[in-house]
Structure 1
Amino acid sequence: MTIPQKTIRIGVDVGGTNTDSVLLDTQALHSTTRGVIAHHKTATTPNVTDGIETAVLAVLQQSAIPLDSIACLIVGTTHFINAVVEHDARRLSKVAVIRLSKSFTREVPPFSDFPMELKEIMNGYCAYVDGGLHIDGSQEAPVDENQVVRECRAIKERGITSIVVAGVYSPIDDHHQQESKVREIILRELPGVDVVCSHQVSNIGFLERENASILNASILKFARRTIRGFKSAMRRLNLQACPLYLTQNDGTLVDATSAARLPIRTFSSGATNSMRGAAYLGGLDNGGKGEGRTSTIVVDIGGTTTDVGVLLPSGFPRQASAYVTVAGVRINYSMPHLESIGLGGGSIVRVQDGGGESNRGPITTVGPDSVGHFLTTEAKVFGGEVLTATDITVAAGTPLGNPSLVRDLDQTIVEHAQARVKALLEGVIDIMKTSPEPLPVLLVGGGSIIAPTNLAGVSKLICPPFHDVANAVGAAISKVGGTVDLIQNTAEQTLASAVERAKEMALSRAVANGARKGSAEVVEVETIPLQYVANQVRIIVKAVGELDGISEGNDVDEEPVDAGVEEADLVPERRKAVKAQVKDMPSAAVDVDAYHPRVLTSKTSRHPEWIVSEVDVAWLADGCYVLGCAGGGSPFPEYIQLRDQLRQGHTIRIIDASHLHPDANIYWGGHMGSPAVSVERLAANETIDAIRELMDYLRHDSFDAVMGLEIGGANGLQPLLLGSTKFFDRPVIDADWMGRAYPTYWQTTLCVHETGQLVPCAIASGDGKHILMTKTTDDEIVDRALRASCSEMGSRVGMAAKPTTTDRVRNYGVMNTLSLAWRIGRCIARAKARNTLNRVAEQIVDEIGGTKSAKILFRGKIVAVERRLIKGHSYGEITIQQLPEEDEEDRGSSVAAYGSGYEPVVTGGQLKIPFKNENIYAAHHPSPTSPPRYIAMVPDLISVLDSQSGKALGVPEFRYGLKVTVLGITCSPRWSATKRGLEIGGTGAFGYPDIGYVPLGVFVEPKSVVLEYA
């Protein structure tokens, strides 16, 4: 018997101001109304259920549709994320975290990067038990049931009922299923509690996955209450037989039962609904007759801000970079990539005197401040006194309000304001594009009337029908998705075979999630080779399909119930207590200009020592990533580890190389291996173990000082960990052997000037495996031999190299590189404090020696990223496209502050930067047919900065559409002054022997922080 398919859907979007609803017929997709039968907009109520009920009832009454013809109700809501963003202790529960790893993750505990108030609300208990996987899927250790049972007793004593289980590499644990086993034990010991397994929440990236799981666990009770409220409203509307779905961040939907388990998947669904609804109404979706499969930019103009996103040819939003933040917490959950600017219908328009030496005449500004929801009382066309963007639009001829109230407005002001609106929109649209080719733009939102009728770089400007309820339409048309994210071995299968297997899994998951058989299709495929790991590739595939119309109703009553506790019954004093605790904690804010590092005279050596603070560590971390030249790995886990050591009362000291004792015995080393392992194991003590192994072999009871292998990336902070009073309590030398980051251990200035100084050396895996290498015939084989061992030891190890001497440090080392990293980090912090991040590159150039030693190479937007893996190294290339000219205000202020010598070395066309873990050279292409001009190359430093944050981008963060500034820094003459230095560290060492080295500038030795502030 064939069951008739229901075609009518109700879509609802609950926003902060309004709740919108639509009634949509999926069989009328190509009609002039695009299937919209009825729509309604009502104010969002404090109890969101009331607003939903009002909005749904309105469209039902408008249409008189029989209730038994409605296929489903689909709701998009920001209610859950608002509870987190607002730090609402009434809606957030305490969470216990159980980590699965026998040897790793302990140095960066749970909640490490949470804002203090959110941590106080959520942090209930943290525990570590045996478990965890290696990158190849093998077990680091099996789960110990007795350990889990012991932790269950501790959790029960604390009265915690929300628990997160997070295991190292759990997203690839298809065989052992450690997290699921632990979940079963917990539910046996603690019946009725909520258990969130991290592999069900997010993907590779341990700390961010765990953070997302914690947020999810903390709002579970509140999510169930809210969804039960939705179901109650449906019963009052006689829709109890109608299935309830919620929309997810990626534009797909999830049934109510699943949403109650994973409410984090709905956090950013509002923006996604708006984009997909806009494309659908404008006929640019895959089902429409318009542009076909092309990317589409959606511009949502509200009263205060404009949000801009990109719909890919798949019809789904382009996702943000690997890591995003929610309420200050880093997560790696899928979120749409949005750019927001302070432009809306209520934006305040001001006319200012340009004055000054430039004599530029009056300047008209629009926003970023706004009258917001007071537009209908404050704007001039509604009888108010404030000139707004809406007033400008009415003065230009758009009928709204009382046009006579702006009839006498100076037309010059109108023209200038409209030009400013046009420039703002064109600027943000261009940032979102991935190529200079024109793209269609869809305008939605109540403020869309202020947009001009044409925009540069736009092929078609469309304001579709029902644009004011596009978000509810987007909810109604949602599809069902299935995603896989796994690491596969390509030693015994081709990459194509691995990708096909992942596609089949994604399609199966889409059908299992409720997609109609035969409708599912693959819409996204991404392959990411893993650095330094042979034959391993990460494959991410997404499939979507149409919702199966035969679905029956779903219910959340099968989930644990909170014994009737309602929101009004929750104790508000808890939030007050949390605020009181946080108020007494020290503030992280610092006056950048007034801050001086603490340099004291040592009681033993009588020499000055830099006593490192939390502020110093934060600046050092940012500076090290800039000096990593896109490689070296993110310093973030090491930063957290150092910060926590300082908070525990430990001390870290830095000394100038000139103060070393002539007979000092100096240890040095760092991590080697894959960043893909570091993001799961976090910071650990592998290098400390390696140093202890080497000390035992050499029969050294102690040593005098510690020095870093490289200043670039995570290894730049390693010597601070080694020198901390928590471990060896030794001063750290303000120097390293690279002055940057390089992919191999033998690419050091020590090897440039003397051979045979790498052995004896030791490596350690962090979980008990150690290897010593005592002799070698040349330096290069040391790296190759150790890297092969590293692969067998989990693909990440710590290394301790042959102890060195004071004269070698002074004669061969790159001096004052910790000082350089600190100064670069201070520039970034200062630019953020002064709101001058758009000019952070100029500030860095000025700080480290001026334009004779550092240069801004190029400004633009990444429009292409290519990645491939060859013999364990990540090769690839990024292409950066010149952006349109900056605003006059920005360009003028930059020139005024820094002078004309700070302009980019080249402009126009494209800049191509190939990389082998680190950036190799920068080649300018004025046109597609012109030969390249090499404007910088190794051993000089080439760093790509995110123009919006001012911070460095590593190879893992390179992605389409990022607005970037390329910075070049002249290398130390330890590299460039000799033929041997250029052989080891120049372009020939990376496979480009025909590109001769041309110095970027003249090296200026960084100023020593120790000597300056002594």
Structure 2
Amino acid sequence: MSWTLISDNEEMYRIGIDVGGTNTDAALLDSKLNTIHTVKVHTTRDVNEGIVESIRRLLAESGVNPARVGYAMLGTTHCTNAIVERKHLGYVGLIRIGAPATTAVPPLADWDDTLKAAVGPHAYVARGGYEYDGRTIVELDEAEIRDYLGRMKGEVQAVAVCGVFSPVNPSQEKRVAELAKEVLGDKMPVTLSHEIGSIGILERENASLLNGALLNVIAGVVHGFEQALQSFGIRAGVYICQNDGTLMRSEYALSYPILTIACGPTNSIRGAAHLSGLNNALVVDIGGTTTDIGVLAQGFPRQSSAAVEIGGVRTNFRMPDILSIGIGGGTIVRADKEGDRVTVGPDSVGYELLRRGRIFGGDTLTATDVAVKLGRYEWDGAQTEGLEESICLKADGIITRDIEDAIDRMKTSAEPVDVILVGGGSILVPDKLEGVARIVRPDHYDAANAIGAALGEVSGESERIYSLDEMTYDEAVADAKSQAIEQAVLAGADRATVQIVFSEDIPIAYLPGNALLVKAKAAGRL
């Protein structure tokens, strides 16, 4: 393959791609983050086909030289879908370092049988663990660890290690990882829970197990994306979107696939902030299947403070605070024969909208048909003659009321809020909503998710408990901020641009001594 040489002063571009359940969106941005071109293609059963087609169209329609694309970012639902559908997950061996303190609740206690079967039967509780302040409860029994690892040999594709209070002191987890490499070989991937989640052991254990199960999935995603780019002559730095609205290098993503969960709604929030110029607002992202509502706070998605369920499993790693309802462009509208009783969703025709929607000659009434019939959007060649206006008006009332209720649930006060509308399905929403001060529909609103993917800030986080009997308050906060900065640099940020964007500390009354939980988040440019 031949490459086109370019000079240092030529404009360099970045591509952002976001794979949704209905559409795959792609955006081309210049070095000043101006949106040059966007495309929307239908997501295919093999999502890589949609990614390739979106890149092909983006380059063909924009006329940009592929050699001038310096960065390529991907937001993907691959990992979320793998968990929800129980498909393509790898077998994972778990070692919980916590006997005898944690034996009351066995590993995978809240998992259903299908998910247990998908990750395999190897889960063991070994002696060890730490107190909240990092003091040893029980020493590791290395012979016991080697025995458990020996049982896994040839039967697992990854190992997850989870210790009591390991975010405070990770030494035992790191030692088990060394033993796993000795027994199972240097190439055996090992997920350490202190790198994934925060203090609660069961949720952190769940997240670590899922991370190990997703390693093969993310490897296919990353390698497929890299091959797609190379086939078009793009030699860009490749980044994968995280669920906190920032990016990680593709090689970092290969070790931490769990961090890609729910990155789609987050990309939309970041894109909405960029396109609208607002830093504090509610973002309503209406796609083909769902409406996702998030809170934009200081330019970043508000993070959830509660444990988050993924495919029925509770986890406690960082996740955006998102409310999803079953309203989208492909949502199915049903009416009885008299047209008196109308229901909306929650099921959707998804990527089959152009084939099944009534305005396209199909036989299924959808929310898009309703919006076009009521004059909210013009679609060339739309077949609206057979649509009953009374049914469409009733459906529209239901859609509007459901979205208004969802907005109210995400508000932190009764005062009207600004709402940024993005996503291709935002044509469903009228110009005024109850409880909303103003509605902002920015340019390129229908590709906000891809634009958010391309924006290119990289973050790192730290969350741990410090004992103020051993260090001062200022030292504890400084240490947490330093760890967050190092995590951001590891994920691909330019150290010179990294700043602390969030910091909080909470005294923990239920632990003895002067215990302090400190959370810090840092972000910087690529």
Q: Is the pair's TM-score, using the shorter chain for normalization, greater than 0.5?
A: yes
- Give the Å deviation of 1:66: 3.4
Partners of 1:383 and 1:405 within 8 A in 2: no
Alpha-carbon distance in 1 for matches of 2:303, 2:192: 23
Could you tell me which of 466, 482, 487 is aligned with 1:488?
466
- What is the match of residue 201 of structure 1? 196
Letter in 2 for 1:71: G
Structure 2 unaligned runs (5+)? 1-7
Q: 3-state DSSP class of the match of 1:12?
A: strand
| Residue 316 (structure 1) aligned with residue 294 (structure 2) | no
- Contact 2:22–2:287 (CA under 8 A) maintained in structure 1: no
Displacement of 1:530 in angstroms is: 1.8
The change in CA–CA distance for 1:345 and 1:138 in structure 2 (over 3 A counts) is same
- Whether the aligned pair in 1 keeps the contact of 2:17 and 2:74 (CA below 8 Å) is yes
Amino acid of the structure 1 residue aligned with 2:323: E
Query: Counterpart of 1:326 in structure 2: which amino acid?
Result: I
Does residue 544 (structure 1) correspond to residue 516 (structure 2)? The answer is no
Residue by residue over 1:62-113, the C-alpha shift from the partner in whole angstroms, topping out at 9 and shown as x without a partner, is 333334432211111111221121111xx22222111213422222221211
Pick closer, same or farther for the CA change 1:483–1:6 going to 2, 3 Å: farther
**Who is 1:616 aligned against?**
none
**2:306 partner letter:** A
1:266 to 257, 260, 265: 260
* Matches for 1:107-186 after TM superposition, within 5 Å: 107-156=104-153, 159-173=155-169, 177-186=171-180
- For 2:258, the aligned partner's letter is I
Aligned to 1:400: 379
* CA-CA distance at 1:52 after TM superposition: 2.0
Distance across 2 between alignment mates of 1:194 and 1:523: 32
Residue type of the alignment partner of 2:44: T
Question: CA 1:188–1:367 in structure 2 vs 1: closer, same or farther (change >3 Å)?
Answer: closer
Matched, 1:332 2:316: yes
**Hey, what's the Cα distance between the residues in 2 that align with 1:122 and 1:441?**
41
Which whole-Å deviations, capped at 9, do the CAs of 1:401-435 have from their partners, x for residues lacking one?
Answer: 5678449945x666554443332222111111111
Q: How many residues align?
A: 516
The secondary structure found in structure 1 opposite 2:301 is coil
Question: In structure 2, do the counterparts of structure 1 residues 525 and 377 end up closer, same or farther at CA, with 3 Å as the change threshold?
Answer: same
Q: Larger Cα Rg: Structure 1 or Structure 2?
A: 1
2:403 is the counterpart of 1:425: yes
Query: Which whole-Å CA distance do the structure 2 matches of 1:155 and 1:202 have between them?
Result: 24
CA distance in structure 1 between the partners assigned to 2:502 and 2:405 by the alignment: 28
Structure 1's 511 and 425: CA in aligned 2 closer, same or farther, altered over 3 A?
A: same
CA distance 1:206–1:456, shift in 2 (3 Å): same
Secondary structure of the structure 1 residue equivalent to 2:464:
strand
Query: 1:437–1:173: structure 2 CA closer, same or farther, 3 Å change rule?
Result: same
Question: Residue 210 of structure 1 is aligned with which of 205, 208, 228?
Answer: 205
Whole-angstrom distance in 2 between the partners of 1:505 and 1:227: 27
CA apart distance, 1:489: 2.0
Aligned mates of 2:129, 2:116 — CA distance in 1: 25
Residue deviations 1:757-809 (CA, integer Å, cap 9, x gap)? xxxxxxxxxxxxxxxxxxxxxxxxxxxxxxxxxxxxxxxxxxxxxxxxxxxxx
Matched, 1:343 2:327: yes
Alignment CA distance shift 1:343-1:223 (3 Å)? closer
Aligned in 2, Cα 1:523/1:382: closer, same or farther, shift over 3 Å? same
Q: In 2 relative to 1, CA 390–222 (structure 1 residues): closer, same or farther, beyond 3 Å?
A: closer
Gap change, CA 1:338 and 1:406, over 3 Å in 2: farther
Q: What is the match of residue 51 of structure 2?
A: 52
**Partners of 1:99 and 1:112 in 2: CA distance:** 13
Residue 514 of structure 1 aligns to a residue whose secondary structure is coil
- 1:305 aligned to which of 281, 290, 301: 290
* 1:114 CA displacement: 0.9
| 1:203/1:333 contact within 8 Å kept | yes
Q: CA deviation at 1:43?
A: 2.8
Aligned to 1:234: 229
Task: Tell me the distance in 2 between the aligned counterparts of 1:46 and 1:546.
Answer: 34
- Counterpart residue number, 1:101: 98
Q: CA deviation at 1:476?
A: 0.2
Q: Does 1:225 align with 2:203?
A: no
2:404–2:433 contact (8 Å) kept in structure 1: yes
1:66 is aligned to 65
Unaligned runs of 5+ in 1: 30-34, 285-292, 355-360, 548-1014
Task: Work out whether residues 161 and 190 of structure 2, in 8 Å CA contact, stay in contact via their aligned partners in 1.
Answer: yes
- Name which of 416, 422, 429 aligns with 1:438: 416
Contact 2:163 2:193 in 1 (8 A): yes
Residues 440 and 7 (structure 1), Cα distance of their counterparts in 2 relative to 1, 3 Å cut: farther
Q: 1:479 aligns with which of 457, 460, 465?
A: 457
Taking a change above 3 Å as real, the CA distance of residues 494 and 119 of structure 1, as seen in their structure-2 partners, is same
Q: How far, CA to CA, are the matches of 1:170 and 1:546 in structure 2?
A: 30
Deviation at 1:249? 0.8
In 2, Cα distance between equivalents of 1:173 and 1:392: 57
**1-side partners of 2:51 and 2:395: how far apart?**
38
Change (3 A) 1:154 1:441: same
Which stretch shifts more, 45-54 or 315-324?
45-54
Task: Please point out which of 477, 481, 485 is paired with 1:499.
Answer: 477
Alignment map for 1:847-926 (pairs within 5 Å): none
After superposition, the C-alpha distances for 1:689-738 in whole angstroms (9 at most, x for unaligned) are: xxxxxxxxxxxxxxxxxxxxxxxxxxxxxxxxxxxxxxxxxxxxxxxxxx
Q: 1:98 to 1:350 in 2, by over 3 A?
A: closer
The two structures have a TM-score, normalised by structure 1, of: 0.48
How far apart are residue 231 of structure 1 and its match? 2.2
SS of equivalent to 1:124: coil
Conserved 8 A contact 2:283-2:419: yes
Q: CA deviation at 1:382?
A: 3.8
Structure 2 residue aligned with 1:87: 86
Query: Using the alignment, how far apart are the partners of 1:375 and 1:230 within structure 2?
Result: 26
2:430 match: secondary structure: coil
Paired residue type of 2:29:
L
Give, in whole Å, the separation in 1 of the partners of 2:50 and 2:362: 30
Give the stretch that moved more between structures: 363-372 or 460-469: 363-372
CA apart distance, 1:485: 0.3
Aligned to 1:26: 31
Q: Is the 8 Å Cα contact of residues 21 and 288 (structure 2) preserved in structure 1?
A: no
Partner of 1:891: none
In 2, Cα distance between equivalents of 1:258 and 1:153: 28
Q: Partners in 2 of 1:101 and 1:262 — Cα distance?
A: 23
Check the 8 A contact 1:53/1:237 in 2, yes or no.
Answer: no
- Cα distance in 2 for partners of 1:137, 1:421 equals 52
* Superimposed CA distance per residue, residues 89-140 of structure 1 (whole angstroms, 9 cap, x where no aligned partner): xx22222111213422222221211111110221331233332100111111
Give the Cα–Cα distance (whole angstroms) in 2 for the partners of residues 404 and 187 of structure 1.
63
SS of the residue corresponding to residue 484 of structure 1 reads strand
Encode CA deviations 1:348-369: one digit per residue, 9 max, x unaligned: 5566799xxxxxx966654445
Cα gap change, 1:536 to 1:511, in 2 (>3 Å): same
1:185-244 residue CA offsets vs partner (Å, 9 max, x unmatched) = 22122212221111111111111111111111112133223322222223222224x221
Identity of paired residues, percent? 41
SS at match of 2:218: helix
- 2:447 is aligned to 469
Counterpart-to-counterpart distance in 2, 1:222 and 1:388: 33
Residues 296-348 of structure 1: per-residue CA shift (max 9 Å, x gap): 211122334322111212x2212234211111111112222222223233445
1:282 aligns with 2:276: yes
